[in-house]
Amino acid sequence: MFDSLSDKLDKAFHVLKGHGQITEVNVAETLKEVRRALVDADVNFKTAKEFTNTVKEKALGQNVLKSLKPNQLMVKIVKDELTEMMGGDAEGIDLSGNPSVILMSGLQGSGKTTFSGKLANFLKTKKTKKPLLVACDVYRPAAIDQLHVVGEQIGVEVFSNKEEKNPVAIAEAAIAHAKQNGHNVVILDTAGRLAVDEVMMNEISDIYKAVQPQETLFVVDAMTGQDAVNTAKAFNNVLDFDGVILTKLDGDTRGGAAISIKSVVNKPIKFIGTGEKMDAIDVFYPSRMADRILGMGDVVSLVERAQEQYDEEEARKIQKKIAKDRFGFDDFLKQIQQVKKMGSMKDLMGMIPGAGKMMKNMDIDDDAFKHIEAMIHSMTPLERENPTRINASRKKRISKGSGTTVQEVNQLLKQFTQMSKMMKMMQGGGGKKMMEMMKN
Ligand code: GDP
């Protein structure tokens, strides 16, 4: 799904690679590429432009944390904006009526009948509802038969009347039937046409007025890109529907409809269809879709955690101490705690692009920190400040206090000395440099 868009966005973020910070110039270049990627994905130009303008504002207003790279931050900003543009939070459907009436509309071939079946199946299994499917297409007997086939497949009753030529009468009779037989959801599958025309609109409006559905859903084929968006817009101008169903997303390589329908029509996508089978239905989650489009969920989580946890002020203090050779065990402890706050070592390493595979088979022991912390806690403040004071008898005391061996204390002191040297060598080191090293 959306492979070429993901690739192009990835290339756009590469523009920022190697840059230390986000500037007007490099951000403009990146966003030109992002815009091009969106237009290639069949997002209309105006929407793409608005999108990149918002991203630009956000990017320039953001303080790039020293622990992050500009391209990583940009991925996160684009992800958030994509999510927002696709609707923010997931929108459910209203099932409060008794029965709740759901009116399905859409062009012929959009996947309306298939989706009606999928939705009935979804409600039956996930929400333990008792749905009734209703064939309101009075023009094509084959459409009625198709709904019966679907109903049989999923074990849901189908209401139809081939003799009746008035769809409103069928819908009303179906609702009465539902009430009598304990169906709490009624799904009306209506006739589709080749284009949104007057006859179709009048018919659906008549049904709408007569039955006052809880939900009116407009079904569009994602593979038709901007056409899908335009059709939804035309339809919405006449009948103020509640949400969009985006079908055939499994065959959509571009993604334009998914990305822009909400911002153009101002109606949320509620469900997506991802195949011909009855279980190929998903609630539409804008955030998950944005992750799929970017294909970089791991980078986004890394940025989020770093933004939440990384204390820049603390890092600066530590840098100063290193420069003055005053880095002690208390600082070391703080560093460990900082790393620990960000999650387990293995998780953290796994999130770094490229490092995941490498780290998979390595045994990173989070418990190792426990011993180190215990040893540091057993030191006196003076010892922590100046580890060279720690002689043989002090080592014995520390090992006793922390439940470790003298050997382990020796090892810690050795590691600490080496690390201090290394940090000094790295100039301006501290946590920041350590993280930089981890990222490269
Ligand atoms: P309707 O005329 O709007 O009722 O459309 P149908 O439900 O008859 O669907 C038209 C065609 O699209 C059928 O061949 C369906 O199997 C197919 N279809 C529907 N939804 C999906 C989907 O999510 N993915 C794929 N790949 N095919 C779908």
Spacing, Cα 244 to ligand 1 middle (Å): 15
Spacing, Cα 109 to ligand 1 middle (Å): 6
260 is in an annotated binding site: no
Mutate to test the pocket of ligand 1, among 276, 278, 284 (most ligand atoms within 8 A of CB): 276
108 is in an annotated binding site: yes
Element (H, E) at 282: strand 281-283
Nearest-atom number in ligand 1 for the CA of 114 is 7
For 258-310, the pLDDT digits (tens) are 999 999 999 999 999 999 999 999 899 998 888 888 876 556 666 666 666 55
Q: How far apart are CA 258 and CA 318, in angstroms?
A: 47
Where the chain has pLDDT below 50, the residues are 350-362, 427-440
The listed CATH number (3.30.30.60, 3.40.50.980, 3.40.50.280, 3.40.50.300) that belongs to domain 100-284: 3.40.50.300
Superfamily name with CATH number, domain 3-89: SRP54, nucleotide-binding domain (1.20.120.140)
Same fold yes or no, 100-284 and 311-439? no
For 346-395, the pLDDT digits (tens) are 555 544 444 444 444 445 556 667 888 899 999 999 999 888 889 999 99
pTM of the model: 0.70
- Going by C-alpha positions, the residue among 55, 12, 76 that lies closest to residue 305 is 76
pLDDT for res 368: 66
Instruction: For residue 139, report the phi and psi dihedrals to the nearest 5 degrees.
Output: -100, -40
Alpha helix positions (H), 155-214? 167-181, 198-211
Nearest-atom number in ligand 1 for the CA of 275 is 24
Tell me if 249 sits within 8 A of 222, measured CB to CB. yes
Beta bridge partners of 402: none
Q: How far apart are CA 411 and CA 49, in angstroms?
A: 58
Which residue has its alpha carbon closest to ligand 1 atom 13?
Answer: 111
Residues with CB under 6 A from ligand 1: 106, 108-114, 192, 247-248, 250-251, 273-276, 280
What are the extents of the domains in the chain? 3-89, 100-284, 311-439
- Going by C-alpha positions, the residue among 296, 228, 313, 290 that lies closest to residue 265 is 228
Nearest-atom number in ligand 1 for the CA of 108 is 2
CA atoms within 13 A on the CB side of 313: 0
248 is in an annotated binding site: yes
109 is in an annotated binding site: yes
CA atoms within 13 A on the CB side of 3: 3
Architecture of domain 311-439: Orthogonal Bundle (1.10)
pLDDT for res 300: 67
Q: How far apart are CA 387 and CA 381, in angstroms?
A: 10
